[in-house]
């Protein structure tokens, strides 16, 4: 699969799943721009490794994100990967942290996707990284996180209707437990995460990137407004 002559914009590409997506699109010949918020060192290294352009832009700050997307010009493939995970008893969670997660996971996904769609050519793609927890939530402590990921489902269905007439697809990729800094395969929550999985193995960021490239390719032009779960059967 080649993406030469395609401009790809990845929101939140410095680490984990986002970095794997940057690597795979760059290897497939795309022109890749990615944003980051805190991990300047990792972003710089990834830019040198892949030839992608790294941009500091906080996805939770609406105008900053919109400006970064607008300044990139026409984008063929927009991937919204940035995400925060705030975990704990809803009665004691810090409300500001929950608000910040909603800013990054929901508001950023919406305003970034809408801005990207303005100049997006026909055949364009919007892909947001949700979570299989939007479909199945076997643990306590994740209500606010799941709220944000369920919101992406509604957004994708709605935007698919808005943008379908321009031949632009909008899809959600829903990973399950995936070995990254957010959810390490050797972390304290790993054993509990494996329990509901049919395949008792953490996924890799590269596996999620593979699905992303599939949905971004020409063969997926008829797929829109849909959720694509890659979770080893966690939500089955």
CB 29 within 8 A of CB 53: no
Per CB under 6 A, 196 contacts ligand NDP: no
DSSP H/E element including 147: helix 143-163
**Angle between helix 143-163 and 95-102 (nearest 10):** 20
The residue within the footprint of ligand NDP, chosen from 183, 212, 224, 229 (CB under 6 A), is 183
Strand order of the β-sheet with 169-175 is 53-56, 31-36, 7-11, 77-80, 125-129, 169-175, 226-230
Question: Could you give the string, one character per residue 102-131, with x where binding to ligand NDP holds by CB under 6 A and - elsewhere?
Answer: --x------------------------x-x
Q: Which candidate in 36, 145, 202, 214 is catalytic?
A: 145
Give least dist CB 84 to ligand NDP, A: 6
* Residue number, 41 or 73, with CB nearest to ligand NDP: 41
Distance, in Å, from the CA atom of 152 to the CA atom of 156, rounded to the nearest integer, reads 6
The yes-or-no answer on residue 80 being catalytic is no
Q: C-alpha distances in angstroms, 63 versus 59, 66, 67, 111, 126? A: 9, 5, 6, 9, 19
Contacts of ligand NDP in 137-176 (CB under 6 A):
175
Question: Could you give the string, one character per residue 1-30, with x where binding to ligand NDP holds by CB under 6 A and - elsewhere?
Answer: -----------xxxxxxx------------
Question: Could you give the string, one character per residue 64-103, with x where binding to ligand NDP holds by CB under 6 A and - elsewhere?
Answer: -----------------xxxxx------------------
Q: Which residues contact 45 (CB under 8 A, 6 or more apart)?
A: none
* Residue number, 166 or 189, with CB nearest to ligand NDP: 189
The residue within the footprint of ligand NDP, chosen from 3, 9, 54, 58 (CB under 6 A), is 58
Give least dist CB 228 to ligand NDP, A: 12
Tokens representing 148?
């944000």
Q: C-alpha distances in angstroms, 16 versus 2, 63, 99, 163, 183? A: 23, 25, 23, 29, 10
Phi, psi of 159 (to 5 degrees): -65, -30
Kindly list the catalytic residues. 145
Binding interface with ligand NDP (CB under 6 A):
12-18, 35-39, 58-60, 81-85, 104, 129, 131, 175, 177-178, 180-183
């Amino acid at each position: 699969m080649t993406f030469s002559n395609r401009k790809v914009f990845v929101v939140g590409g410095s680490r984990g799943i986002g970095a794997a997506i940057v690597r795979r699109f760059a290897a497939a010949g795309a022109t890749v721009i990615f944003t980051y918020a805190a991990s300047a060192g990792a972003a710089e290294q990834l830019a040198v490794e892949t030839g992608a352009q790294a941009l500091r832009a906080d996805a939770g700050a609406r105008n900053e994100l919109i400006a970064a997307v607008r300044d990139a010009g026409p984008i063929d493939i927009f991937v919204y990967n940035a995400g925060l995970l705030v975990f704990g008893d809803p009665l004691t969670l810090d409300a500001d942290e929950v608000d910040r997660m909603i800013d990054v996971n929901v508001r950023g996904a919406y305003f970034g996707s809408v801005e990207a769609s303005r100049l997006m050519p026909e055949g364009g793609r919007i892909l947001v990284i949700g979570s299989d927890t939007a479909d199945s939530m076997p643990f306590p402590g994740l209500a606010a996180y799941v709220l944000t990921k369920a919101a992406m489902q509604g957004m994708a269905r709605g935007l698919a209707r808005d943008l379908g007439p321009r031949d632009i697809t909008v899809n959600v990729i829903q990973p399950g437990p995936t070995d990254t800094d957010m959810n390490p395969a050797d972390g304290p929550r790993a054993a509990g995460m494996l329990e509901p999985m049919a395949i008792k193995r953490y996924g890799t960021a590269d596996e999620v990137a593979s699905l992303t490239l599939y949905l971004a390719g020409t063969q997926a032009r008829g797929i829109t407004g849909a959720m694509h779960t890659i979770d080893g059967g966690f939500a089955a």
